[in-house]
A and B are shown apart, each in its own frame.
Chain A
Amino acid sequence: METKKIFCDITKCVGCRACELACAVEHSATRDLFLAILESPRPKKRIDTQFIEKDVFQSIGCQHCDDPPCVEACMASCIHKDKKTGKVDIDTKRCVACWMCIMACPFAAISRKAATENKALKCDLCPERECPACVDSCPTRALYHEARKDWAKREKNKVLIKK
């Protein structure tokens, strides 16, 4: 079955960066905000709040593309797309830190794991959670965790209602 992905409704995003903090905490050793900021190396977020234009923001991470440029670019073949679920994953052990994936990603969704650790890092859809931490944390409920077709329906309805 196709995996649920993370979508951002840009009409609701206020650019508060709550998703970024929740992401970093979820991917920390302690999973506690007050302790995570003291960890070394400090945990890193995999989602980014981007400024689009005046008063318009979006929270964006890995899109788990249909035809992912990162998979194409990865010379160590450590990034792969699951044929069944469509999820794009990094096999960190095989990463050689060539950063071709970072160059190739059109969403700037891949980053370096830590200054001390030369590995590529991106959204893993929080495998240990039912709903990703960023989606749970969003105070305006701008982030959605759902199947692509459900999201498409929601967006279509919005346009239809507006008209």
Chain B
Amino acid sequence: MSREKLKDKASIKILEARKSEGMETIWDRYEAQQPQCGFGLLGICCRMCNMGPCRIDPFGTGPQKGACGATADTIAARDMTRQTAAGSASHSDHARDLGHTLIAIGKGTVQGYSIRDPYKLRIIAAEYGIKVENKKDNELALELGERVLQEFGKQDDSQLTLSKRAPKRQQEIWKKLDIFPRGIDREVVETLARTHEGMDQDYKNLIQSTMRVSLADGWGGSMIATEVSDILFGSPKPIRARANLGVLKEDEVNIIIHGHEPTLSDVIVTASQDPELIKLAKEKGTKGITVAGLCCTANEILVRRGIPVAGNFLQQELSILTGAVEIMVVDIQCVSPGIAQAASHFHTKVISTSAKASIPGVEHIDFREDNALDTAKKIIKIAIDNYPNRDKTKVIIPKEAMDLVAGFTAENIFYHLGGKFRASYKPLNENIANGRIRGVAGVVGCDNPRMGSGSSHVALVKELIKNNVLVVQTGCAAIECAKEGLLTPETAIEMAGEGLKEVCKAVGIPPALHLGSCVDNSRILIACTEMVKEGGIGKSLDELPVAGAALEWMAEKAMAIGWYFVASGALVVFGTPMRISGSQAVYDYVTKDMENITGGKWAFEEDPIKAAHLMIDHIDRKRKALKLAPMMYTQSYTVTGHLPSE
């Protein structure tokens, strides 16, 4: 059932071939889990204490309270809050590691890393109040690294430095609601404390904590991760590459890097270009070494170095099932235990590298900054030595691999829109105001067998661009659209509506822009802030004609991302609801009342076309409120008189 929605041809080819050989994949395991627990789906099973687990009967005949007296409202809100904290913790811990790398560069105790964007180092250091004059890069790296790490343990009640970038009105709302982020670790710890048994019980107060911990991610952890990655590994510039399983080579050593942190992947890419290792690979009868990325690791090295993308989350097992992968190196997050089982059918070696993420049955090589290059070379040598074990009769490499353009950032979008001599957000804002572009939508997040196995993103983006909505993308959603050719101007521009087509043609950009990994959703916050600064289409984030969607959300990280956008004033659409449906009060609070609180709100819609229309309705309402010009050309979708009065 979940397999039927999968549209990606390369994936289907591998799945069908391997199914007949009895190899299990994530779709089989997902099916075996059906039907899933209704109490869990509705968010009314509480496991917080040892009087439980307690469950609320959603049909009203059984118990309506847990042993402690907690109602469905408390249970659903408490669980959602905790999940959001876990998401926030994941992005932020990723950022912390990058802070440590920055310090290590400052101290000169690294191997294989340097400051690739000294210009941005100076800008960010200055933003943190560090004097940048007459200082060397490594001095600044040390100072900034230490300053950035202070953001995690900050104990005073002042706001996180980067959150001061937000428009004035958003900051006022956060102050009023008492949800501005203070210390990154503090917000996570406080949320865990508040969701302990016998603590916060009022769902509204719990959701206040949800918003605060998510803001500590969006305007804290994630934003730090993006900025520091740019400093360390270079700010992305638009770059051409290819995506899908077809990037693997039959006659080369194939190395896949999977996970999230750019620290590991960047140095592996460097090491793979080592002439001696290439020579060694050729001695084994191959034509060279291919490095390809998966998940957000793929996005990090794609946007900065143009490394090909093997696939997204659901393709991690499938890439191994090609039988053509020598090693898969993984670090943190979204690494499924299923890859170890998949690898057992082939010669593929899976290697874990993070002390924080160990997988049973997988070789571990500890990865540290001080001997990064040596470790990377060692890993590549293992891959080369493993090549002769490849059983060529078992190899199936699908031919599908699509061209794409990636590497847009909040800084360089305006350069492309405005051109070299008039670089500003003015052209974007003007084209929105004059009705060529309807608005901007973020289409981000995971791919999930519960939903369309990636296909929802493609349908959603096609409908949005057809209706002249400029799309910005990150994460696995971006990879899915790349595979379908939506991220390359040549194929995608023709799918766009008239107005958007004109703009994209004039500027030479695709109608869907790839902004990077999931921590790079912070780039969308910054781009929106820049649109506010430029003026003319809203004085704050909640007035902008923008919307966001993560239809196939899977990870807790997606909840943190969704919440920081809602808390920053945006509409966020998830395909399936967060686990709150068992409480009508919580559901209504986040989908309706929230709009009067932060200006943003949640919506849940599984059908990608309906979701697109929901987002367009929202954008149209914002356009109407701003009294922007009517759309320049006939739109394929318009609301016919069912605009809820607001």
**Quick one: which of A125-143 are within 8 Å of B by CB?**
136-137, 139
Report B14-55 CB contacts with A as 1/0, cut-off 8 Å.
000000000000000000000101110110000000000001
Does A122 sit at the interface, judged by CB under 8 A?
Answer: no
A37 touches B35 (CB 8 A): no
10 A-B pairs with C-beta separation under 8 A: A18-B38, A22-B35, A33-B42, A34-B42, A34-B577, A34-B581, A37-B58, A37-B581, A42-B59, A44-B59
Q: Determine whether the beta carbon of B59 is less than 8 Å from that of A37.
A: yes
Q: Chain A residues with Cβ under 8 A from B41's Cβ?
A: 33-34
Report how far A37 CA is from B38 CA in the complex, Å. 11
Q: Closest chain A residue to B35 by CB distance?
A: A137
Query: Which label, helix, strand, loop or mixed, suits the secondary structure of the A interface?
Result: helix
How far does the Cβ of B472 sit from chain A's closest Cβ, in whole Å? 30
Q: Are A136 and B61 in contact (CB under 8 A)?
A: no
Q: Which single residue of chain B is at the shortest CB-CB distance from A111?
A: B61
- Minimum C-beta distance from A52 to chain B (A): 18
Residues of the B chain whose Cβ atoms lie less than 8 Å from the Cβ of A18: 35, 37-38
CA gap between A20 and B55 in the complex, in Å = 12
A17 and B581: CB pair below 8 A?
A: no
**Bound complex: CA A20 to CA B38 (Å):** 10
Interface flags for B573-598 (1: CB within 8 Å of A; 0: not) read 00001000110100000000000000
Across-interface contacts of B581 in A (CB, < 8 A): 34, 37
Query: Complex formed: what's the CA distance from A37 to B58 in Å?
Result: 6
A6 within 8 A of B: no
- B interface residues (Cβ-Cβ under 8 A, vs A): 35, 37-39, 41-42, 55, 57-62, 577, 581-582, 584
A123 close to B (CB within 8 Å): no
The reply to whether A45 and B55 contact each other, CB–CB distance below 8 Å, is no
B38 interface neighbour in A22, A42, A44, A136, Cβ under 8 Å: A22
Quote the shortest CB–CB distance from B36 to chain A (angstroms): 9
* CB pair B38 A45 closer than 8 Å: no
How far is A34 from B584 in the complex, measured between Cα atoms in Å? 11
Interface residues of A in 5-62 (CB under 8 A from B): 16-18, 20-22, 24-25, 33-34, 36-38, 42-45
| Cβ A37 vs Cβ B42 within 8 A | yes
State which residues 82-127 of A face B: CB under 8 Å: none
Q: Are B582 and A21 in contact (CB under 8 A)?
A: no
Q: Which residues of chain B come closer than 8 Å to A136, judged between CB atoms?
A: 35
- B290 CB to closest chain A CB, in angstroms? 43
Query: Which residues does chain A contribute within 8 Å of B37, judged by CB atoms?
Result: 16, 18, 139
**Contact status B35-A42, CB under 8 Å:** no
Q: How large is the interface on A (under 10, 10 to 19, 20 to 34, 35 or more residues)?
A: 20 to 34
CB-based contact A17/B39 at 8 Å: yes
Measured in the bound complex, the distance between the Cα atoms of B61 and A17 in whole Å is 13
In Å, the complex CA distance between A38 and B583 comes to 10
Total CB contacts across the A-B interface at under 8 A = 42
Report Cα–Cα, A17/B39, bound state, in Å. 9
A45 touches B35 (CB 8 A): no
**A24→B59 contact, CB < 8 A:** yes
Q: Provide the bound-state CA to CA distance between A100 and B194, in Å.
A: 50
Residue of B nearest to A136 (CB): B35
Residue in B37, B38, B41, B57 with the greatest tally of chain A CB atoms within 10 Å: B38
Are A21 and B61 touching (Cβ within 8 A)? no
Q: With a CB–CB cut-off of 8 A, which chain A residues contact B42?
A: 33-34, 37
Most buried by B among A21, A43, A44, A139: A21
Cβ-closest chain A residue relative to B41: A33
Residues of A within 8 A of B39 (CB): 17, 21
Q: Is A45 within 8 A of B59, CB to CB?
A: yes
CB distance from A154 to the nearest CB of B (A): 23
User: What's the minimum C-beta distance from A39 to chain B, rounded to whole angstroms?
Assistant: 9
Considering the complex, give the chain A residue whose CB is closest to the CB of B577: A34
Bound together, the chains give a CA A137 to CA B36 distance in angstroms of: 8
Among all A-B residue pairs, the 7 with the closest Cβ atoms: A21-B38, A37-B58, A24-B59, A42-B59, A137-B35, A42-B60, A34-B581
Shortest CB-to-CB span from A145 to chain B, Å, is 15
Whole-angstrom distance between the Cβ of B541 and the nearest chain A Cβ:
30
Measured CB to CB, the nearest residue on chain B to A35 is: B581
Q: Which residues of B contact A34 (CB under 8 A)?
A: 41-42, 577, 581
Chain A residues closer than 8 Å to B60, beta-carbon distance: 42
Q: Check if B35 sits within 8 Å of A17, measured CB to CB.
A: no
Q: Which residues of B contact A16 (CB under 8 A)?
A: 37
B57: chain A residues within 8 A (beta carbon): 20
Minimal beta-carbon separation of B42 from chain A (angstroms): 7
What residues of chain B lie closer than 8 Å to A24, measured between beta carbons?
Answer: 59
Additional 18 contacts, C-beta under 8 A, given A17-B39, A21-B58, A43-B59: A17-B55, A17-B62, A18-B35, A20-B62, A21-B38, A21-B39, A22-B35, A25-B38, A34-B581, A37-B42, A37-B58, A37-B59, A37-B581, A37-B582, A42-B59, A45-B59, A45-B61, A136-B35
Residues in A whose Cβ lies below 8 Å from that of B35:
18, 22, 136-137
Which residues of chain B have C-beta atoms less than 8 A from A45's C-beta?
59, 61
Q: How far is the CA of A18 from the CA of B45 in the complex (A)?
A: 12
How many Å lie between the Cα of A21 and that of B58 in the bound state? 8
Closest to B604 in A: A34
A25 to chain B: closest residue by CB = B38
Nearest B residue to A38, CB-CB:
B584
Bound Cα distance A42, B62 (Å): 12
CB-CB nearest in chain A for B576:
A34
Say how far B602's CB is from chain A's closest CB, in angstroms.
15
Q: How far is the CA of A16 from the CA of B38 in the complex (A)?
A: 10
| Nearest A residue (CB) for B72 | A37
Q: Write out the residue numbers on chain B whose beta carbons fall within 8 Å of the beta carbon of A33.
A: 38, 41-42, 58
A138: nearest chain-B partner, CB-CB: B35
A42: B residues at CB distance < 8 A = 59-60
Distance, CA A2 to CA B35, complexed state (A) = 29
Q: Measured between alpha carbons, how far is A42 from B59 in the docked complex, in Å?
A: 6
Bound Cα distance from A34 to B58, whole angstroms: 10
Q: Which residues of B contact A137 (CB under 8 A)?
A: 35
Q: Which of A33, A34, A45 has the most CB of B within 10 A?
A: A34
Which residues of chain A are within 8 angstroms of B58 by Cβ–Cβ distance? 21, 33, 37
CB distance from A123 to the nearest CB of B (A): 15
Contacts of B577 in A (CB 8 A): 34
Question: How far is it, in angstroms, between the C-alpha of A58 and the C-alpha of B37 when the chains are bound?
Answer: 18
Nearest CB of chain A from residue B587's CB, rounded to whole Å: 10
**Nearest CB of chain B from residue A73's CB, rounded to whole Å:** 23
Q: Using Cβ atoms and an 8 Å threshold, which residues of chain A touch B55? A: 17
